[in-house]
């Protein structure tokens, strides 16, 4: 096996594709710690950077419900994050063992919301909320959030566009904006979406969108409204079902707008259940931030232009490919128009690649084309290995599709005419 100087009695907790997590005893103190390291013996620079970043977040946080960092150990060409160990399993494993009772679900998600309040208050978005990253001790009801490997700092300005460069998090729990398909900024409301998928799963025993196929899951997140939990099981309190559905809204503007707002509703459910053994309906979001000024997410007054682009996309399926140029003065809404098209095309499982020629990039030849192709590649990369193999024309054992699948592509150049 392996050794890390200063630690002994290693026991495997988790052996995943990317990371291994082991428990070990710290020789100097006799304390049990958890050690997270890359699964590969020779990890890439990126894999090392991800763990270094996770260490930084854990080190900065110092919260009782998130493992505290104890050290970053460099071992040969790899690194290991040493942290506080919690000796209880993930919510995923607990639920697989025996589904959670209603009171347990309400308790777990009220506590998880409280953890998110503190995490978000420190300016950090988790981006990978799912039952494997939540630890749950059934006897005590204790809840811990792990895996800050996908976390990011919140954008400083509300207008800052945080377009996902890489797609982070598990696809089944990923918000529409995290898929990188609709070009909306990722903010704390993305965590509410993943929270909603997890809550939905614990309430109903199934996820809102089934299957493992990344393309189908992304399509579900973008375009399909899942059945309400209360419709699947009448024993599920309506208000809890509504909370899950509110978190699952496609537009971030229709979800909760603040973490304390989300937490307040779950606390109300928990208190009601403890006091009256049932949860009477109440109006959701009463404590939510409603006074925050927000631009609407959908564009208005561009129906004609949008219809022209959609019509072009419709014809792409028959003729193969198309290029559209969108011209207009600065600030007239060219980018928003193309993003709106991108949203509707993504919902039809198509791709839109676009790039912008602007006054700042004049020295870079083909900058718009480069942007467009990079965007297309990012979209394909987000779909998992089997789909990548299909797109690249590499025969894949796991793929049921032929290697010559064509994909529709509309390219829009946004040019600034000044
Ligand atoms: N500090 C910890 N204490 C106890 N178990 C942990 C700890 N950190 C991670 N684990 C366990 O290891 C699993 C994988 O850890 P995680 O950080 O989520 O790795 P990955 O990046 O591979 O998803 C978790 O689901 C959890 O069961
Ligand atoms: Mg994880």
Q: How far is the CA of 287 from the centre of ligand 2 (A)?
A: 31
Q: How far is the CA of 155 from the centre of ligand 2 (A)?
A: 23
Ligand 1 contact, 33 CB (< 6 A): no
pTM of the model: 0.83
Ligand 1 contact, 14 CB (< 6 A): yes
Q: Among residues 28, 25, 253, 61, which one has the least CA distance to residue 145? A: 61
User: Can you give the pLDDT at residue 87?
Assistant: 94
Ligand 1 contact, 86 CB (< 6 A): yes
CA dihedral 250, 253, 257, 261 (to 10 degrees): -70
Ligand 1 contact, 66 CB (< 6 A): no
Ligand 1 contact, 16 CB (< 6 A): yes
User: Can you give the pLDDT at residue 179?
Assistant: 85
User: Can you give the pLDDT at residue 303?
Assistant: 85
Ligand 1 contact, 273 CB (< 6 A): no
User: Can you give the pLDDT at residue 180?
Assistant: 78
Ligand 1 contact, 81 CB (< 6 A): no
Which is the closest atom of ligand 1 to the Cα of 148? 17
Distance spanning both ends of the chain, measured CA to CA: 65
Q: How far is the CA of 6 from the centre of ligand 1 (A)?
A: 21
User: Can you give the pLDDT at residue 230?
Assistant: 97
User: Can you give the pLDDT at residue 333?
Assistant: 80
The domains of the chain, with CATH numbers, are 7-84 (3.30.200.20), 91-276 (1.10.510.10), 303-416 (no CATH)
Ligand 1 contact, 225 CB (< 6 A): no
- Output the tens digit of pLDDT for each of the chain's 418 residues: 568 889 999 999 999 989 999 999 999 999 999 999 999 989 999 999 999 999 999 999 999 999 999 999 998 889 999 999 999 999 999 999 999 999 999 999 999 999 999 999 999 999 999 999 999 999 999 999 999 999 999 875 443 344 444 455 689 999 999 887 876 788 999 999 999 999 999 999 999 998 778 888 988 999 999 999 999 999 999 999 999 999 999 999 999 999 999 999 999 999 999 999 999 999 999 999 865 556 566 677 888 888 888 888 888 776 677 778 888 877 778 877 887 887 778 777 777 788 877 777 678 888 888 888 887 887 777 776 666 776 666 554 443 332 223 344 555 555 544 3
Q: Whose CA is nearest to atom 16 of ligand 1?
A: 147
User: Can you give the pLDDT at residue 262?
Assistant: 98
Which residues touch 16 (CB under 8 Å, ≥6 apart)?
39
Ligand 1 contact, 126 CB (< 6 A): no
- Ligand with the closest atom to the CA of 50: 1
User: Can you give the pLDDT at residue 295?
Assistant: 59
Secondary structure class of 82 (helix, strand, coil): strand
Q: Residue 14: in which H helix or E strand, if any?
A: strand 7-15
Token pair of 102, please? 């209603």
* Beta strand residue intervals within 16-98, DSSP E: 19-26, 32-38, 69-75, 78-84
Q: Among residues 406, 250, 411, 415, which one has the least CA distance to residue 342? A: 411
- Ligand with the closest atom to the CA of 19: 1
- Ligand with the closest atom to the CA of 12: 1
What would the DSSP string read from start to end of 338-389? HHHHHHHHHHTT-EEEEEEE-GGGTTSTTHHHHHHHHHHHHHHHTT-HHHHH
Q: Whose CA is nearest to atom 22 of ligand 1?
A: 19
Q: How far is the CA of 208 from the centre of ligand 1 (A)?
A: 24
Which is the closest atom of ligand 1 to the Cα of 90? 27
Ligand 1 contact, 147 CB (< 6 A): yes
Residue 84 bridge partners (DSSP): 33
């Amino acid at each position: 096996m392996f050794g890390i100087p200063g630690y002994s009695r290693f026991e495997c907790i988790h052996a995943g594709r990317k990371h291994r997590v082991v428990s070990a005893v710290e020789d100097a103190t006799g304390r049990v710690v958890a050690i997270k390291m890359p699964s590969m013996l020779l990890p890439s620079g990126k894999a090392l950077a991800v763990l270094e970043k996770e260490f930084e977040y854990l080190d900065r946080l110092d919260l009782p419900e998130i493992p505290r960092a104890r050290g970053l150990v460099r071992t040969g060409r790899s690194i290991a994050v040493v942290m506080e160990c919690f000796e209880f399993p993930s919510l995923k494993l607990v639920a697989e063992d025996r589904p959670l009772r209603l009171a347990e679900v309400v308790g777990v998600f009220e506590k998880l919301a409280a953890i998110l309040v503190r995490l978000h208050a420190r300016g950090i978005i988790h981006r990978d909320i799912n039952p494997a990253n939540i630890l749950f001790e059934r006897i005590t009801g204790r809840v811990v959030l792990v895996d800050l490997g996908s976390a990011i700092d919140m954008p400083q300005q509300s207008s800052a566009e945080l377009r996902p460069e890489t797609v982070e998090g598990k696809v089944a729990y990923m918000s529409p904006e995290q898929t990188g398909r609709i070009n909306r900024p990722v903010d704390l409301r993305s965590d509410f979406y993943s929270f909603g998928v997890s809550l939905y799963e614990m309430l109903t025993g199934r996820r809102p969108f089934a299957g493992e196929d990344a393309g189908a899951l992304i399509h579900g997140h973008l375009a399909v409204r899942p059945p309400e939990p209360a419709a699947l099981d009448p024993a599920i309190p309506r208000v809890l079902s509504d909370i899950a559905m509110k978190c699952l809204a496609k537009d971030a503007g229709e979800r909760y707008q603040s973490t304390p707002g989300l937490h307040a509703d779950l606390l109300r459910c928990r208190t009601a259940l403890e006091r009256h053994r049932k949860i009477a309906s109440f109006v959701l979001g009463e404590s939510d931030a409603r006074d925050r000024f927000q631009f609407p997410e959908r564009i208005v007054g561009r129906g004609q232009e949008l219809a022209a682009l959609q019509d072009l996309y419709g014809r792409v399926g028959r003729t193969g490919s198309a290029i559209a140029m969108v011209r207009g003065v600065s600030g007239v809404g060219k980018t928003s128009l193309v993003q709106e098209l991108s949203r509707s095309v993504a919902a039809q499982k198509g791709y839109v690649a676009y790039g912008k020629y602007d006054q700042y990039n004049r020295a870079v030849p083909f900058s718009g084309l480069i942007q467009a192709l990079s965007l297309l590649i990012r979209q394909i990369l987000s779909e998992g290995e089997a789909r990548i193999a299909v797109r690249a024309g590499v025969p894949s054992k796991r793929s049921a599709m032929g290697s010559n699948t064509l994909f529709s592509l509309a390219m829009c150049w946004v040019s600034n005419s000044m």
